[in-house]
Structure 1
Amino acid sequence: MIRIFRIPVLLLAVAACQRANAEPGGTASLPRGELRGLAGRIVFVSERDSQPEIYSVRPDGRGLRRLTDAASADYPAAPVPGGNALLAVSVTDEGEQQIERMVMLGYDGSATSIGPVSARVRSPSWSPDGRWVVFESDTASFRDLYRMRRDGGGLQRLTQNPEGNFEPSVSPDGQSIAFVSSRDGDAEVYVMRADGTGTRRITAFHRDDWAPRWSPDGKRIAFLSDREGADRVFTVGADGLDLQRLDTTAPDSALAEAEPAWSPDGTRLALTVRRRGGTARVAVQDLRTGKRTIVSGADEVASMPAWSPDGRHLVYVADRQGDPDLRIVRADGTAASTVVRSPGPDWLPRWIP
């Protein structure tokens, strides 16, 4: 089975909840001083301007800036290590064809198109030093992986398989790339050297495995799999050994998991969980104890968690009345506050140092 990967979109066809005056589920509000003390900025997609555009905001909601202003739909894809630029995917309709390109956005307002322009150019992942990036594209095939320098030069094709290669993820040391390939009949996770040599198959099952994410120490890879009848998070050693389901209880086909995100110290995973017929919630699982904590409110549809640089907070998308906003919550779920609220969906947050 060939799995087609798409730019993430927030599914809005969900039952809306009445907006309450209190914080979700009775959760306390984050103190203003705590919010103002949070480092970095949050970049996200907003549709307040009728089409997806990229905005930046401080964690306390101040300093809102629009970073894109073009006749295209723009999505934040991969912040450049070092925090001085953001690689975005820009999508335009040209005649009857959709065209995608990568754009380097400077936080000073500059924007430069780099790399190939094609129907599919997506899923960029940076080397730790920010000198090169790997991405998937249909430039010369159904879908293969390419590497190029930050300035757009030195384009190198890393894979050549007619079945497709997707979702590259560069290891923390920059020596390896995890990715998904359908070369053996269904989507599996593979690892190769950063120059495209030495490919090793990491997972082997007759159902799909996808969305690989390296742990911060590079020793394990988290990924999604439907091998038990529902999408669930698994982890595996970088050598392909010691496969583990994140939820160590019995298999449960009524529970779906998505969007795993490693904490900066690698001791926890944030994810989205939803029981069949229920509402999507954001959870944090401690990998040392196995304890899972729901951190989003009971009166909201929650998704797309992203960690703060220090691992003490998360930003996520909260839909409480059919109009998604951005909320910040403590990683233990004890307090949360809405930091971005506007007419029109706000989603796909990335928290950059």
Structure 2
Amino acid sequence: MQPYHGVTAGTLVFQSDVAGRPKVFTLEIATGLVRQLTHGGEWRDESPRWSPDGQWIAFTSNRAHYGAQPETGTPDVDVYVMRTDGSAVRRITTDPGNDYDPSWSPDGQGLVFSSDRASRGDLYRVRIADGHTDRLTTNFVGRAIMPAVSPDGSKVAFAAQTLRLGAFWVFQLHVLDLASGRTEPLPASGGACWPSWSPDGRALYNVQLDREPSFIQRRDMTSGGVSLAHSNPSLWSYYPRVSPDGQWLVVSLSPEHHEGENWDLALVSTSDPGRRVPLTTGAGNDRLADWRPR
């Protein structure tokens, strides 16, 4: 990994398999300093997300099935949290199912995640303090996955394969209202996945898959208008996350669509979709980056 130096202030957390199975790293954008936070050759640590106060990182791992006292059965994925230096690792979910893609509530007291523990994929919310878990969707059509809690904590954007296209079901974006429990699909969101809110909650960025390679869209949540946020004719664009000041997206780019195909991180200006600045290059797949709050 060879970070680009001196573009903007900020710290990213991301996953990379540069040293084997995926682990969690941080990157200081101004200096290019990269730190590896998690270790261990047998398990996978993935999907890191900063807490709202910037003091904790949530991530997923199957590490409970390895080490000195491994759990029995098929290795499943659970949600964990740790300090920003990789210390004080604590397991948050223990259900015998796979829990994916944690997203913090704005008060830092809970996480929304997707799980196949009782279905192909539904959304759940877990309380950090004691692990109390509520189910938010039940047998959602097409699997409810990739959750993103809104900045005000009232809604969760997510993706599900709910649109029929020929012989296939394609992704569509939905929004869950946490107060009422109702979900609604977003208009003109066929082929869209991996939603990410702007800091003010007025816009939603997403991956768009209705042509190849994929590109990034911006959705105005008031008007419903959709605009291009980034595209590249030779690279797949994935996993957008917006900087705390709203000026940059961090994305993962690859010449191939599937995992294991040389993903690298880049910054994209939110005011100029054509302005792209590389952050990492070389071996390994660097994906699912997130910005540390200021």
TM-score of the superposition, structure 2-length normalised? 0.75
Q: What residue is the counterpart of 1:317 in the other structure?
A: 252
- Output the amino acid matched with 2:106: P
Question: Structure 2 unaligned runs (5+)?
Answer: 67-71, 165-169
Alignment partner for residue 132 of structure 2, among 156, 163, 166?
156
Q: Which residue of 2 aligns with 1:4?
A: none
Report what 1:204 is aligned to.
Answer: none
Q: How far does residue 218 in structure 1 lie from its aligned partner after superposition?
A: 4.8
Shift, 1:47, TM fit: 0.8
> Structure 1 residues 82 and 301 mapped into 2: Cα distance closer, same or farther (>3 Å)?
same
SS at match of 2:157: strand
**Could you tell me which of 228, 253, 278 is aligned with 1:293?**
228
2:54 is the counterpart of 1:83: yes
Q: Is the 8 A contact 1:315 1:326 kept in 2?
A: yes
Q: What is the match of residue 215 of structure 2? A: 281
Give distance in 2, aligned partners of 1:155 and 1:217: 22
- CA gap 1:227/1:112 in 2 versus in 1, 3 angstroms: closer
Mapped to 2, the partners of 1:51 and 1:234 lie a distance apart of: 32
Shift of 1:284: 1.9
Does structure 2 retain, via aligned residues, the 8 Å contact 1:138–1:144? no
Structure 1 counterpart SS, 2:62? strand
Matching of residue 343 in structure 1 with residue 277 in structure 2: no
Report the counterpart of residue 42 of structure 1 in structure 2.
12
8 Å CA contact 1:120, 1:136 repeated in 2: no
For 1:291 and 1:136, locate their aligned partners in 2 and report how far apart those are by CA, in whole Å.
26
Greater mean deviation of Cα atoms: 328-337 or 76-85: 76-85
> Does the aligned pair in 1 maintain the 2:106–2:153 contact within 8 Å?
no
* Equivalent runs, 1:64-79 vs 2, <5 Å: 64-71=34-41, 72-79=43-50
Partner of 2:167 in structure 1?
none
What percent identity do the matched residue pairs reach?
23
Structure of greater Rg: 1
TM-score, scaled to structure 1? 0.64
RMSD, matched Cα:
3.3
**For structure 1, which segment, 95-104 or 325-334, has the greater mean C-alpha deviation from structure 2 after superposition?**
95-104
Match of 2:240 among 295, 300, 305: 305
Taking the aligned partners of 2:125 and 2:84, their CA distance within structure 1 comes to: 26
My pick for the range that moved more, 299-308 or 78-87, is 78-87
Kindly tell me the number of residue pairs found equivalent between the two proteins: 267
**2:126 and 2:59 mapped to 1: Cα distance?**
16
Distance 1:97 1:241 in 2: 34
- Aligned positions of 1:71-220 closer than 5 A: 71=41, 72-92=43-63, 94=66, 97-117=74-94, 119-120=96-97, 122-123=99-100, 124-133=102-111, 145=124, 147-150=126-129, 154-158=130-134, 165=135, 179-182=136-139, 187=140, 207-208=141-142, 210-211=144-145, 212-218=147-153
